[in-house]
Amino acid sequence: MEFLSYLISGLSLGSVYAIIALGYTMVYGIAKMLNFAHGDVIMVGGYVSYIAMARAGLPGWLSVIIAMAVCTLLGVVIEGLAYRPLRSATSLAVLITAIGVSYFLQNAALLIWGANFKTYPSLISGTLKLSLGEDRQLSIPYVAMLTVVVCILIMVGLTLFTSKTKMGKAMRACSEDKGAAQLMGINVNKTISVTFAIGSALAAVAGVLLCSSFPTLKPTTGSMPGIKAFTAAVFGGIGSIPGAFLGGLLLGIIESFAKAYISTQLANTIVFAVLIVVLLVRPAGLLGKYVPEKV
């Protein structure tokens, strides 16, 4: 019984990681850059939805839409102001800029909303109770079920979007070769901006689901989940949408079982140790493909 409870908890947490990792892998797959400010966009989405529900009294579904709209705009602004001027810069310059944007968002949140914890109102309350016989019951929180379903829908939607739509095909072309894509008439800057917009909208959804499961909100809320989601993206194969999905779920399950059966304090250590072992065996990740660099 306890095993099933921990498994459900791991799937719920892993689904949040997977949604965040999908945003990471979208940006990396198309723009070939690591947006380490992604975790802080999660935090902004959490605060926006919190204000919409707790202060303005709006329903949960509307707060999610508002958070997605704000984070989408934020993602486009970040890309246009911070990353677009560095399109031809070195990877190190882009990485330092991403870290700077991350700290800027954290400190801006600190100034606007303060350092005190906010208690996040649950997006959906209640539990589903399943009887397994012999007076044993399995309780599944509705928010956990919602998180898993939303994650699956997002993964399927992104897969169909990138494979069936004109913009999705443009993204794949930019991922292969930006220069050739531009020669074929694809607006590379617009394509990358749309990628950031989608990734930031996903961050808003992840922020709402994360705060609904763990109802504590502060300016650093997105930092550790962002790092773990990046780990999940690398674990599954960064640049691969199914890989980010699989990596997120596995990471959540590993963390849940590590906390339950080994040690709460060592859970993060175990998660990152598993990542190291996997990368030693498969450097490209579980579903990633090794692409030799042409010189």
Residue ranges of the domains in the chain?
A: 2-125+140-281
Q: What is the block-wise mean pLDDT of the chain (295 residues), using blocks of 10 residues?
A: 85 92 86 84 94 89 94 93 86 88 93 89 82 76 91 92 90 86 88 92 93 89 88 85 90 91 87 85 77 53
Rg of the chain, C-alpha, whole Å:
19
The Cα 273–Cα 250 span in angstroms is: 13
The Cα 271–Cα 121 span in angstroms is: 29
* Residue 45 confidence (pLDDT): 94
Cα 168 from chain centre: 19
Q: 20 and 226 in contact (C-beta within 8 Å)? A: yes
Tell me the one-letter amino acid at 26.
M
* Residue 131 confidence (pLDDT): 75
**CATH number of 2-125+140-281: 1.10.4100, 1.10.3470, 1.10.760, 1.20.120?**
1.10.3470
The Cα 23–Cα 250 span in angstroms is: 17
* Residue 237 confidence (pLDDT): 85
* Residue 28 confidence (pLDDT): 83
pTM: 0.91
* Residue 102 confidence (pLDDT): 92
Q: 64 and 208 in contact (C-beta within 8 Å)? A: yes
C-alpha count within 13 angstroms, C-beta hemisphere, residue 282:
15
Residue appearing with tokens 């956990």: 144
Q: 245 and 151 in contact (C-beta within 8 Å)? A: yes
* Residue 283 confidence (pLDDT): 81
CA distances to 69, 152, 175, 225 from 159, in Å:
22, 11, 15, 23
* Residue 289 confidence (pLDDT): 67
The Cα 262–Cα 23 span in angstroms is: 31
Q: Write the pLDDT tens digit of every residue in 9-65.
A: 999 999 999 999 998 888 887 877 878 888 899 999 999 999 999 888 888 889 999
* Residue 140 confidence (pLDDT): 86
Task: Let me know how long the chain is.
Answer: 295
Count CB neighbours of 144 within 10 A: 23
* Residue 291 confidence (pLDDT): 56
